[in-house]
Amino acid sequence: MPRSVNAVASRARRKKVLKATKGYFGRGKNVWTVAKNKYEKGLQYAYRDRKAKKREFRSLWIQRINAGAREHGLSYSQFMGLLKKADIELNRKVLADLAMNHPEAFKAVVERVK
């Protein structure tokens, strides 16, 4: 009896991977073994960087808030401490947006906590 290999599923799996690696450099786009390795590595990077993205954005927001606060004579840590004391619950994302795009609104927040 001949061996059953389910070529339909194998081909579909390979097509899925090769479609996902379209645009990769060199043999990574058309050689099955190379493409499979690059595809799996790409998924690892994507998983890792979804976590890293959150850290990077939080860091960016803190820098923007710090720059905005220093224009009004406060450091970042002083400003955040005063915010907590004044019981103002604005997150860093919103504060950074105010500091960058709406300086008059950010100034009002600073004056409120001083």
In this prediction, residue 10 carries a pLDDT of 94
pLDDT for the residue numbered 3: 87
| DSSP label at residue 27 | G
Mean pLDDT of 101-108: 97
Identity of the residue numbered 108: A
Is the model's pLDDT at 64 over the cut of 90? yes
Cα dihedral sign for 30, 34, 39, 45? negative
Mean pLDDT over residues 53-68, rounded? 98
- Predicted confidence (pLDDT) at residue 53 exceeds the cutoff of 90: yes
C-beta separation of 93 from 86 below 8 A: no
Q: Locate tokens 């406060």: which residue?
A: 74
What pLDDT shows up at residue 4? 87
Q: pLDDT at residue 1 above 90?
A: no
Whole-model pTM?
0.80
pLDDT tens, position by position, 20-44? 999 999 999 999 999 999 999 999 9
